[in-house]
Amino acid sequence: MTQVAASFSLTGKSALLTGATGHLGEQMAIALGEAGASVLINSRSQQRADILVQRLQEQGYTAVALAFDVIDPQQVSEALATLQGQPLHILINNAYAGGGGTIETAETPEYLASYDTVVASAHRLLQACLPNLREAVRQDGDASVINIASMYGMVSPDPRLYDAPSGTNPPFYGAAKAALIQWSRYAACEFGQESIRVNSLSPGPFPAASVEETKPDFVKALASRVPLGRIGRAEELQGPLLFLASSASSFVTGSNLVVDGGWTSW
């Protein structure tokens, strides 16, 4: 293996991935496992976490379920207490739950819930994992925090793409993701001197397979807005994720890596 190829390896490293059982989360988990990391699979559902862990183990990867709700401080504290003294090289904040809406239809609690799940939970997890991230730096010289944001933290969705307000990418989602991008910069500056790197990763149009099957016209319209002329495939996030997670990005912090097929370049 060349030195450049070796820099992308996660062999001997540990990673915690929140929201691991979702559409994009599963592909992130597979990428981490394939690169050699020991992956802590987080989900609110113990059953869903166990199923994904079994899938990863069947492929020869190392994975353990760690079920907790990222918005519950007590659950976070209790779950991460099990990692006491262990290094954590990679923390990926990917959890999200919420529906669609517009400014006219959205309710205040939806903004609060979205902010809590996206921004406050990233804060909560980073605080709770600091001893483990610091231990990773002590042992291996580097730790990486990756916050999964969105192109809609940078630009607004085109409402003409959507049939109804209930299916529109909602303003509380974009506002929370924009806040996450900025929070990542704050964290990068605060912890940079400790060699804890913090970056955000902003996916573009990556509709789930179920959306492709049930809403082909919508998917076609999405693809027409992308300079590359197509939607993204979930596995296309794997390379960018591994770059930020690995020592290949050892001098990268405070960045927002956009994986959107050029959507935000128009």
| C-alpha distances out from residue 52 to 75, 82, 123, Å | 20, 20, 26
Complete edge-to-edge strand list for the sheet that includes strand 14-17: 62-65, 38-41, 14-17, 90-93, 143-148, 196-203, 256-259
Domain that holds residue 250: 3-259
Is residue 266 assigned to a domain?
no
Residue 67 resides in a domain = yes
**pLDDT tens-digit profile of 54-112?**
999 999 999 999 999 999 999 999 999 999 899 999 999 999 989 999 999 999 999 99
User: For the chain, what is the domain count?
Assistant: 1
State the Cα–Cα distance between residues 15 and 114, nearest whole angstrom. 24
Confidence category of residue 5, pLDDT binned at 50, 70, 90: confident
Would you say residue 265 lies in a domain?
no
Three-class secondary structure of residue 235 per DSSP? helix
Q: Does some domain include residue 158?
A: yes
Q: Which of 191, 159, 186, 187 is nearest to 174 (CA)?
A: 159
Q: Is 19 left (phi over 0), alpha (psi -120 to 50) or beta?
A: left
Residue 89 placed within a domain: yes
Whether 264 maps to a domain, the answer reads: no
Residues 6+ apart with CB under 8 A from 244: 144, 146, 197, 199, 201, 252, 257
Structure-block tokens of residue 150: 């969105």
Residue 86 lies in a domain: yes
- Residues 222-245 have pLDDT tens digits of 999 999 999 999 999 999 999 999
Query: In this predicted model, what pLDDT tens digit does every residue of 117-162 receive, in sequence order?
Result: 999 999 999 999 999 999 999 999 999 999 999 999 999 999 999 9
Any idea what the CATH number is for the domain that residue 7 is in? 3.40.50.720
**pLDDT average, residue stretch 8-15:** 97
The verdict on residue 60 lying in a domain is yes
Among candidate residues 118, 211, 114, 117, the one with its CA nearest the CA of residue 162: 211
Q: Which among 83, 88, 13, 20 is positioned nearest to 55, based on CA atoms?
A: 20
Residue 1's pLDDT band, with cuts at 50, 70 and 90, is confident
> Is there a contact between 206 and 232 (Cβ–Cβ < 8 Å)?
yes
Angle between helices 171-191 and 108-115 (to 10 degrees): 30
CA distance 6 to 3: 5
